[in-house]
Amino acid sequence: MKHDYEFIEGEVLLFNKPLHWTSFQLVNKVRWLIKRELQVKKIKVGHAGTLDPLATGMMILCTGKKTKEIDLYQAAEKEYIATIKLGATTPSYDGETAENYFFATKHINEMLIKKALLNFLGAIEQYPPIFSAIKVGGKKLYESARKGEEVVLKPRNITIKEIEVLSINMPYVKIRVSCSKGTYIRSLAFDIGKTLNSGGWLCKLQRTKIGEYDLKNAIDIQDFQEMMKST
């Protein structure tokens, strides 16, 4: 049975973004499906916070009049489940680029990892990855990075409310992080590796919560597409 959506009046849609999809691909797909269903040329659809292509999990999309509420969802706390590979780094801090430097990990144990994580609790300064969409001088950082141009990064103030180890299977460490808007988990992975006198990069990321919204209530784009088929 098709869900009785009110897209013009406004809907808050919870999606589980697929791996390798950009956030804009998801928005564009949802917009196209809604336009086809309603037989309209235009409909407002916006997202309340992007996810990198190599990340999966919760994305909130708002339609119609609900797009006015996007800022509220963007400002909400986020929760992530992240897997970090220790002993190496990549220029992008994730799997978009190949490992470029390698470090020892024999000195790292569970106690050392848990102690290192305490350094990131609370209000901290964080440098964004050079491979990110933040604009410096009117140009996105990743555009400069791919051209090999040098960019001076400025730290951003963020807050990490909770951080805990879920599992350790060296060189992989899985953690749960609850944090403020603007936090880059890729940068956190890199910084954790550095604090451990080693290296680290983000090899898997899933966003599990945005504010009060939980991933378990989100739908896949394929299921939404099925619901949008005309009866």
Distance CA 74, CA 61 (A): 11
Copy the structure tokens of residue 28: 């564009």
pLDDT at 4: 77
Distance CA 36, CA 188 (A): 41
Beta bridge partners of 13: 61
Q: Which domains does the chain have, with CATH numbers?
A: 12-75+212-227 (no CATH), 78-210 (3.30.2350.10)
pLDDT at 150: 61
State the residue for tokens 């990131």. 120
Copy the structure tokens of residue 56: 């999966």
pLDDT at 1: 40
Distance CA 117, CA 205 (A): 17
pLDDT at 55: 96
pLDDT at 120: 98
Q: What is the pTM of this model?
A: 0.90
Q: Which are the contacts of 60, defined by CB distance < 8 A and separation ≥ 6?
A: 12, 13, 14, 15, 47, 48, 49, 73, 210, 213
The reply to whether 52 belongs to the active site is: yes
39 torsion bin: left (phi>0), alpha (psi -120 to 50), beta (else): left
pLDDT at 130: 77
**b/e per residue, 33-44, with b = 16+ CB within 10 A?**
bbeebeeeeebb
pLDDT at 228: 86
Q: What is the DSSP letter of 64?
A: G
Number of alpha carbons in the 13 Å side-chain half-sphere of residue 184: 23
Chunked into runs of 10 residues, the chain (231 residues) has average pLDDT values of 78 97 96 93 93 95 96 96 98 93 97 98 92 56 55 85 98 98 95 98 98 96 87 42
pLDDT at 231: 42
pLDDT at 138: 55
State the virtual CA torsion across 56, 85, 94, 103 in degrees, nearest 10: 180
Task: Indicate which residue of 4, 52, 191, 214 is catalytic.
Answer: 52
Helices (H), 78-140: 110-117
